[in-house]
Amino acid sequence: MTESEIKEKQLGKALLKLTQKYGSPLYAYFTEDIEKNYRKLRSAFGDEGVHIMYACKALTNLVVLKFLKKLGCGLDAVSLEEAKLGLLAGFKGREIVFTPSMVGGADYDKAVEYGLRINVGDLQALEYMGKNHPNYPVCIRLNPHVYAGGHEKISVGHVQSKFGISIFQMDEVLDLVKKYSIRVDGVHMHAGSDIQKDEQYMEAIGVIFGKAEFFPDLEYVDIGSGFKIPYRSSDTSSNLEKIASFVKEKLNTLSVKLNKRVELLMEPGKFLVSNAGYFIVEATVVKKAPGKTFVGVDSGFNHLMRPMLYDAWHDVINLSNPNGKSQKYDLVGYICETDTFATDREVAEIRVGDFLTFKNTGAYGFNMASNYNSKLRPAEVLVHEGKDYLIRRRETFEDLISTQVLPDLFY
């Protein structure tokens, strides 16, 4: 057995044990992996003047947020609710970048009240900040218009994307900045981690560094996230050293030009947490059909949506029968929609009652879960220094109806 096979065996046993203890379906996360990912970024980019703002929409459990804070992360929050979770987890206002899309003035008022770093992605918001909060610094989210490839729903830096202010509207940006004497303390760009090549990410980074020079009050450049991770064996991951050396050079040049030390922010989401998470389900039905074998599990796109939303690939392991003869299966959910997790997938023989795990589900797994079909959301468990902790209990039927109000009707 190779070292990685031994590791997988041990991991399988650990996940099986967690499932026996906490039930299925279950999300399990390992802090050890999150920390490894964090250290990789730090070793490539360094510490001094470098702020790793974890994009918490990937996984917002408070305990995970606290762990990331302890490691030395800030946060990227795309909604006020995420920012509030961050504050609750102990982050200070300035340690949170608020990067909403398409929100009105009230959200910016609150963001000012909380003291967040504010990242505006449209001219209306920029003008609103200038008019209503003239002394509050803002960061400007630019759309670099670099086609990053990848799935259309994840790719966000191209010309037709709703995100960011077009670099072709710099004149309008500069007019507003001048009109309201807005202090622009940062520029931002986010390419999306479905980016196909590091070169495309670097090209987009290069574009915003070019625009950064227009802002004499600039204190930081936020390169968002374009950090790719492998989901299947043929996938590549980002070359961090290459990206880091490119960024450092740009930072140095900009710092010289502006005659100050410009800092760096980045917003990795899935890079930090994806491979730290496992989603475990139970095989409930094995159904032979002509030319196919379907395996139904006690879950569906209500718990793990990425395969259906993005055609995402998640490796599957049969935890209960790891040495079984491998066969091809279609793994499907219990939702009354087409909710296929995997098609024609080789998995060790699956029997009813076996527990399976989907790998790489720490990011955009639980956080995209819903109550569709009136199904309950799973529990979340965190493994830290060899011990397991329940960090979100399984939902109950009472939770499901707890927000419904029954007026005195229809008796």
Determine whether 336 is an active site residue. Answer: yes
The nearer residue to ligand PLP, 270 or 359, going by C-beta atoms, is 270
- Nearest approach in angstroms of CB 113 to ligand PLP is 21
Residue number of the CB atom closest to ligand PLP: 269
Q: How many residues bind ligand PLP (CB under 6 A)?
A: 18
Q: Look up residue 294 and give its amino acid.
A: F
The nearer residue to ligand PLP, 72 or 353, going by C-beta atoms, is 72
- Nearest approach in angstroms of CB 265 to ligand PLP is 10
> What part of residues 339-368 is at the interface with ligand PLP (CB under 6 A)?
363
Structure tokens at 102: 């398409």
Q: With CB under 6 A as the contact rule, which of the stretches 10-18, 188-196, 256-264, 366-374 interacts with ligand PLP?
A: 188-196
The 96-135 site mask, x for binding ligand PLP (CB under 6 A), equals ---x------------------------------------
- Nearest approach in angstroms of CB 193 to ligand PLP is 3
Q: Which residue in 56, 73, 139, 336 is the catalytic one?
A: 336
Q: Are strands 74-77 and 50-55 parallel, antiparallel or unpaired?
A: parallel
The 50-69 site mask, x for binding ligand PLP (CB under 6 A), equals -----x-xx-----------
The 255-294 site mask, x for binding ligand PLP (CB under 6 A), equals ------------xxxxx-----------------------
> What part of residues 207-226 is at the interface with ligand PLP (CB under 6 A)?
224-225
The nearer residue to ligand PLP, 100 or 378, going by C-beta atoms, is 100
Compute φ and ψ for 383, nearest 5 degrees.
-105, 120
Q: How far apart are CA 229 and CA 352, in angstroms?
A: 32
- Residue 27, SS3 per DSSP: strand
Full DSSP string of 195-255: -S-HHHHHHHHHHHHHHHTT-TT--EEE--------SSTT-----HHHHHHHHHHHHHHHH
- Nearest approach in angstroms of CB 101 to ligand PLP is 8
Q: How far is CA 234 from the centre of its chain?
A: 22
| Residue pair 355/319 in contact by the 8 Å Cβ criterion | yes
Structure tokens at 20: 């026996």
Q: How far apart are CA 186 and CA 264, in angstroms?
A: 10
- Nearest approach in angstroms of CB 97 to ligand PLP is 8
The nearer residue to ligand PLP, 225 or 318, going by C-beta atoms, is 225
- Nearest approach in angstroms of CB 57 to ligand PLP is 5
Which one-letter DSSP state was computed for residue 360? S
Q: How far apart are CA 304 and CA 372, in angstroms?
A: 12
Q: b/e for 16-28, b at 16 or more Cβ within 10 A?
A: bebbeebebbbbb
The nearer residue to ligand PLP, 296 or 362, going by C-beta atoms, is 362
The nearer residue to ligand PLP, 100 or 300, going by C-beta atoms, is 100
Regarding 309 and contact with ligand PLP (CB under 6 A), the answer is no
Q: How far apart are CA 320 and CA 19, in angstroms?
A: 11
Q: b/e for 282-321, b at 16 or more Cβ within 10 A?
A: bbeebeeeeeeeebbbbbbbbbbbbbbebebbbebbbbbb
Select from 18, 68, 76, 211 the one that contacts ligand PLP (CB under 6 A).
Answer: 76
Radius of gyration of the chain from its Cα atoms, rounded to whole angstroms:
23
Q: How far apart are CA 216 and CA 207, in angstroms?
A: 17
- Nearest approach in angstroms of CB 221 to ligand PLP is 14
- Nearest approach in angstroms of CB 385 to ligand PLP is 26
The nearer residue to ligand PLP, 225 or 357, going by C-beta atoms, is 225
Q: How far apart are CA 197 and CA 157, in angstroms?
A: 14
The nearer residue to ligand PLP, 12 or 307, going by C-beta atoms, is 307
Q: Among all residues, which ones are annotated catalytic?
A: 336
- Residues forming contacts to ligand PLP in the complex (CB under 6 A) are 55, 57-58, 76, 78, 99, 190, 192-193, 224-225, 227, 267-271, 363
